[in-house]
């Protein structure tokens, strides 16, 4: 996979509250408008696994782990970019410096986007507000 991201973030909130945020499909569209997500493993309050098509093709997961007075949100994104104009055809990359820079920029953009999303959720749940459905990305 060209992009392989793993992230763990602690949120000081009840697991059912955190789970409810990730189970809201309208949030997925706001967070990831260029991805088409299809749930292939619904783990209840423990999270979701998706197949990803659209801008990328591969898989993604949010795994929620109870930890002390809160939850550790484990996030995984394992995808390849798709060919322009396709939602399902993987783009092939050479080992050229140009291709490596392109993949590096894509990966950085995905990491930065995820951090904005998860920190907004964390702030909303820990501070008792809920604005994360307004598109934290």
Burial class (CB in 10 A: 0-12, 13-18, 19+), 110: middle
pLDDT grade, residue 95 (50/70/90)?
Answer: confident
Render pLDDT for 116-125 as a digit per residue (tens, 0 to 9). 999 999 999 9
Q: H-type helices in 2-63, by residue range?
A: 15-23, 25-31
Stated pTM of the model: 0.89
Q: Which residues of 17-43 are buried (b: 16+ CB within 10 A; e: fewer)?
A: ebbebbbeeebbebbbeebbbeeeeee
Contact 45, 19 (CB under 8 A): yes
Q: Rounded mean pLDDT of 34-38? A: 96
Helix-, strand-, coil-residue percentages of the chain, each rounded to 5? 40, 35, 25
* C-alpha distance from residue 3 to each of 17, 77, 84, 102, 128 (Å): 29, 7, 17, 11, 33
Question: What's the CA gap between 75 and 92, in Å, rounded?
Answer: 25
The whole-number pLDDT of residue 54 equals 95
Domains of the chain, start order: 3-134 (3.30.530.20)
Q: What is the mean predicted confidence (pLDDT) over 96-110? A: 93
Residue 2 tokens read as 């060209």
């Amino acid at each position: 996979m060209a992009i392989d991201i793993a992230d763990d973030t602690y949120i000081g909130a009840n697991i059912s509250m955190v789970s409810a945020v990730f189970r809201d499909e309208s949030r997925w569209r706001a967070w990831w408008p260029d991805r088409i997500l299809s749930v292939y493993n619904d783990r209840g309050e423990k999270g979701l696994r998706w197949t990803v098509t659209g801008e990328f093709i591969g898989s993604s997961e949010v795994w929620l782990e109870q930890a002390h007075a809160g939850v550790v949100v484990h996030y995984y994104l394992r995808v390849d970019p798709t060919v322009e104009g396709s939602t399902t055809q993987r783009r092939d990359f050479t080992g050229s410096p140009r291709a490596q820079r392109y993949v590096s920029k894509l990966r950085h953009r995905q990491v930065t986007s995820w951090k904005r999303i998860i920190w907004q959720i964390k702030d909303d749940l820990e501070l008792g507000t809920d604005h994360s459905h307004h598109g934290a990305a």
